Amino acid sequence: MSNVSLVITAAAGSIAAIAGGALPAKTRVWAAVVLTWGSCIAALVGALAVLHTGQSSVLNSSQILPLTGVTMVLDPLGAVFVVVTAVVAIASTLYWLGYASHGLSTRTASAALPLFVTSMLLVPAAGSVATFLVLWELMALASLMLVLVDQRRREETRSAAQWYAVMTHVGAAAILFALVLLSAHAGDQTFAAIRVHAHHLPTAVRNTAFVLAVLGFGSKAGAVPLHVWLPKAHPEAPSPVSALMSGAMVNLGIYGIVLVGDRLLGGGPVWWWLMVTALGVVSALFGALHAATSTDLKRLLAYSTADNMGLVLIGVGASGMFAASGHRAIASIAMVAALLLTVNHAAFKGSLFLSAGSVQVATGTRDLDRLGGLMRRMPITGAIFMVGALSIAALPPFNGFVGEWLLFQSLLHGLPTSSTAVAIAVPVGVAALALTGGLTAVAFVKAIGVGFLGRPRSEEAAAAHEVPRTMQMGAGMLAGLCVVLGLVPVIVLPALGRAAASAVPGAPATTLSGSVDLHLAGLQGVLAPALLAAGLALATGAVIALRQLARRRFTPQPALRRAEPWGSGRELQTARMQYTATSFAEPLERVFDDVVRPDRDLDVSHVSESRYYVEKVTYWTSIGDVIEQNVYRPVISAVHWWGQRARVLQNGSVHRYLAYGLVALVVILAVIT
C-alpha cells in the first residue's frame, strides 16, 4: 500500500515538473499545482500509514539509477518529515496560485517547484546512499533555480544564489563523503547494510563520518557558523519558496543528523552530541540576536529559522547525550521534543514567510522601516502573521509553547542523572533556551509593532491592499495548524513518539501518554494544553469582565481619548516621528555590541554661515554577519589570491610546458628505479 504511494509521489511529481516546463503559460501553473498536490497527498497517505502501523514501506528497483539502483525505505522517523513537507508544500503551492504572477509563472519556476517539492518528499524515504544523494542534490538544484527567479532584477539575488549554491555543494560533498565512507566499510550501499555493520567500524571512520555529516547537514539546517547562505537565500527567494525552504528543507538537515548519528551509527560517544548541542546553542543565540536586530522582514524570519533550528539541535544533541549515558526514556522524550519543535516550526515559519510574502506583494518592500499600519489595511494577513508571531514566541495556547515546554522538561529531568560533561552542557542549553525565548519575543514584537501597527511609513505601505484569496488561504492553513497543534498536540505526539522510538536505539516504545493531558513516562511533568488554553481564556475573560464591572461601579467614566500608537500619547504630526525598527533594536545592539558589531556612521553637515547650526544629520547603521566577515571573507580572499598566483603555471611558454613533462619523466624514472 504505502510503497504504491511512493511510486505515485515520484510519478506525479515528475509529471508536474514536465507539465510546468512544457505547457503554455495559461495552464502551466494550475497543472503543476494540481499534480504537485497529487504528489503531496500520495506521500501524505503513505507516510500516515507508516506512522499509524509503525511498519516501514520498502521499494526497490534496479532499473532506475545506473550502477546502484534505487532503494526506498520509509520508516516512522522519515514519515514525520514527509508529513511536514507535504503539509507545508500544499499550503505553499496553494499560495503560489495567487503569487504566480510575481515571477513564478515562468517555465523554469513552474518546472522547478514541483521538482523541489517532490525531491523533498522523497529524501526521507531514501533507503540507500545513492538514492539519498541523488534526491538531495536534485532538491538543491531545484531550490537553486527557484532562488534565481528574480536574478534579472536584483544583484542581491545573484549573489545570494551563489552563496547558496557553493555552501550547499560543499555541504553535499561532506555528506557524500560521510555516507560513502560508511558504505565502503559496510560493503553495500543500502542503509540497512550500513546499520548492520556500523558497530564493527573503526572508531576513526565512525568519528570522521559523523563529524562530516554534522557539518554537511548542519549547513543545510542553517546551524551557525554554517548558516551564512540562509539569511541571504531565504529572503531573496520568492516567498512560497522561502516558506518551503524554511518550513521543509532545513528540517531535512536535522533529519540527516538523526539519520547518520542515530539510525545508521546507532548513537555514539557523548562528545558527538555535545558538539551538536553546542552548535544548537550557538545557532539559537546568534539567530535570535540577529532576528531581533534585523529590519528586513524576511531576513528577520530567516535568522529566526537559524534560531529555531538551533533549538531543535539542542533537543537532538540532548537526546544523544542522554542515550549515550544510558537514559533511553529521557533521550526519547528529548527526541520527541526536537521533532515537535520541527513540526511546529514548519507550521509557524511557513505561515510567517507566506504572510511576509503577502506584505511584499502588497507594498513592494520588506523593509520594516518603510512599513506600518498594515493591520488595518490587510486584516487577514495581519491576523495570520500575528498567530505565527505568537506561536514562535512560544506563548500558550499556541503550538510553540508545547514544544519548548517539552524540551525544558527533558533537559531539566535529564540533569541529575548525567555525567559531568552533560551536567555542564544541559544548564547552558536551558539558559540558551531562556535567553532565546526573550530575544525572539523582542524580534516579533518589533515585526508586529513596527510592521503591522502604527501608521504607514511610506506611500507604498499606505496604499497596501489585501492579497488574493488563494494566498490568504495558503498562509491561513498553516496558521490554523499552529492553533490546532497548540490546543491538542496529542494528535501528533503518539506518531512523534513512534518516530523517536525508531530513531533512538533501544528506547521504550511509548514515552508519552494521555489524551487531553500529557504524561511523560518516568517524569513528573504533566501538561494539558487544551485545559491550559481554556483556563487562559477564562482568566482573560474574567479579568476583562472584572475590569468593566469595576469601572462601571466605582469610577466615573473618564473622557475616552484615542491617540496614535507609538505616539506616547502625544498628537502625532507625521509618520516619521514613530518608533522605527532600527530604533527599537538599538538598545539591544548596544548591549550585544561585541557580537553583532554594527557599522554606524553619523554625518553632520552644517550650514555654511555658522557651525552652530546644523543643516542635515545623516545616521546610517547596518549590521553585517560577523561570521561572514571574519571567517568566510578571509577564506575567499585566500582562494582568490591562490587563483592569481597559480596563473604563472600557464604563462604561455612552450618551453616551460615541455619542462613540466621532462621533470615529470625524470622524477618518475628516478622513483621507479
Partner 1 sequence: MLALVVLAVPFGAGVASAVAPWRRWVGWLCTASIGAVLVCGVGLAVRVVHGPPVTAFGGVLRVDALSAFMVIVIGAIGVLATWQSVRYLDAELAAGRCSQRHASLYSMLVQGFVTAMLLAVVAGNVGVMWVAVEATTIITTFLVGHRRTRGSLEASWKYIAICSVGIAMAFLGTVLVYLAALHVGHHEHANLDWTSLMAVSHHLDPGVMRLAIALLVLGYGTKVGLAPMHSWLPDAHSQAPAPISALMSGVLLTVAFYALLRFKAIADGALGVALPRALLVAVGLLSLVVAASLLLSQRDYKRMLAYHSVEHMGLIALGAAAGTRLAIAAVLLHILGHGLAKGVLFLTSGEILLAEGTTEIAQVKALLARRPALGGVFAFGLVALLGLPPFSLFVSELNMVRAETQVGLGWAAAISLVCMAVIFGAVMSHGRHMLFGAGPDGEQVHKTPAIVTAPLIGALIGCAILGVLAWPLAGLLRAAAQVVAT
Partner 2 sequence: MNGPAYASTLELMSGVILVCAVVTLWRRSLSAVVKALAIQGFALGAVALILGIRQHDAVLIVVACLVMASKGVVIPTLLGRVVASDPSSREATPIVNVPASLVGAAALTFLAYGATQPVVALIPTTAGRLVPLGFATLLIGFFSMVVRRKAISQIVGLLLVDNGIALVAFLATAGVPLLVELGASLDVLLAVVVLRVLAAQMWSKFGVLDLDQLRELRD
The residues binding partner 2 (CB under 8 A) are 647, 649-655, 658-659, 661-662, 665-666, 669-670, 672-673
User: Whole-angstrom Cα distance, residue 41 to residue 211?
Assistant: 35
CB-side exposure of 63: number of CA atoms within 13 Å? 1
| Rg of the chain taking only CA atoms, in angstroms | 27
| Position 562 contacts partner 1 (CB under 8 A) | no
Of 181 and 343, nearer to partner 1 (C-beta) is 181
Alpha helices in 187-202 (DSSP H): 191-197
65 binds, among partner 1, partner 2, none (CB under 5 to 8 A by kind): partner 1
Q: At its nearest, how many Å lie between partner 2 and the CB of residue 279?
A: 40
Burial tier of 641 (Cβ tally within 10 Å: 0-12, 13-18, 19+) = exposed
Name the one range near partner 1 by CB under 8 A: 216-224, 247-255, 413-421, 663-671. 663-671
Residue 666 near which of partner 2, partner 1, none (CB within 5-8 Å, type-dependent): partner 2
Q: Grid coordinates 506616547 are at which residue?
A: 568
605: enclosing H helix or E strand: strand 599-606
Packing angle, helices 107-122 and 25-53, rounded to 10: 10
Q: Which is nearer to partner 1, 69 or 494 (CB)?
A: 69
3-state SS record for 490-534:
HHCHHHHHHHHHHHCCCCCCCCEECCCCEEECCCCCEECHHHHHH
Judged by beta carbon distances under 5 to 8 A according to partner kind, the member of partner 1, partner 2, none in contact with residue 158 is partner 1
Q: Which does 513 bind (CB under 5 to 8 A by kind): partner 1, partner 2, none?
A: none
In angstroms, rounded to a whole number, what is the distance separating the alpha carbons of residues 120 and 253?
Answer: 11
Residue tagged 567500524 (cell numbers): 201
Nearer to partner 2, 66 or 652 (CB): 652
What does the alpha-carbon distance between residue 303 and residue 453 come to, in Å, rounded to a whole number? 22
**Contact in structure between 40 and 89 (CB atoms under 8 Å):** yes
Q: Which three cell numbers stand for residue 387?
A: 498567530
Least Å from the CB of residue 657 to partner 2: 9
Does 633 bind partner 1 (CB under 8 A)? Our answer is no
640 binds partner 1 (CB under 8 A): yes
Closest CB 243 distance from partner 1, rounded Å: 24
Comparison of 103 and 508: residue with beta carbon closer to partner 1:
103
Residue 153 interacting entry, from partner 1, partner 2, none, C-beta within 5 to 8 Å by type: partner 1
CB of 642 to partner 2, least distance (A): 13
Closer of 559 and 646 to partner 1 (Cβ): 646
For residue 573, the partner it binds in partner 1, partner 2, none, with Cβ less than 5 to 8 A by kind, is none
410 binds, among partner 2, partner 1, none (CB under 5 to 8 A by kind): none
Q: Smallest distance, Å, CB 665 to partner 2?
A: 7
Which one of 6, 86, 133, 387 is in contact with partner 1 (CB under 8 A)? 133
Closest listed residue to residue 432, CA positions, set 588, 525, 317, 314: 314
- Show the binding pattern over residues 336-375: x = contacts partner 1 (CB under 8 A), - = does not: ----------------------------------------
Residue 547's identity, in one-letter code, is R
- Taking the complex as a whole, the smallest distance from the CB of residue 242 to partner 1 amounts, in Å, to 20
Asked whether the beta carbons of 320 and 272 are under 8 A apart, the reply is yes
Q: Would you count residue 573 as binding partner 1 (CB under 8 A)? A: no
List residues bridging with 602 in a β-sheet: 619
Give the CB-side neighbour count of residue 305, counting CA atoms within 13 A.
39
**Euclidean distance between CA atoms 571 and 532, whole angstroms:** 40
Query: With binding defined as CB under 8 A, does residue 664 bind partner 1?
Result: yes
For residue 464, give every residue at least 6 positions away whose Cβ sits within 8 Å of its Cβ, in sequence order, or none. 359, 362, 363, 374, 377, 378, 456
183 binds, among partner 2, partner 1, none (CB under 5 to 8 A by kind): partner 1
635 interacts with partner 1 by CB under 8 A: no
- Closest C-alpha to 246, from 230, 268, 227: 230
How many residues interact with partner 1 (rule CB under 8 A)? 58
Near partner 1 in 142-201, by CB under 8 A: 148, 151-153, 155, 158, 161-162, 165-166, 169-170, 173, 176-177, 180-181, 183-184, 189
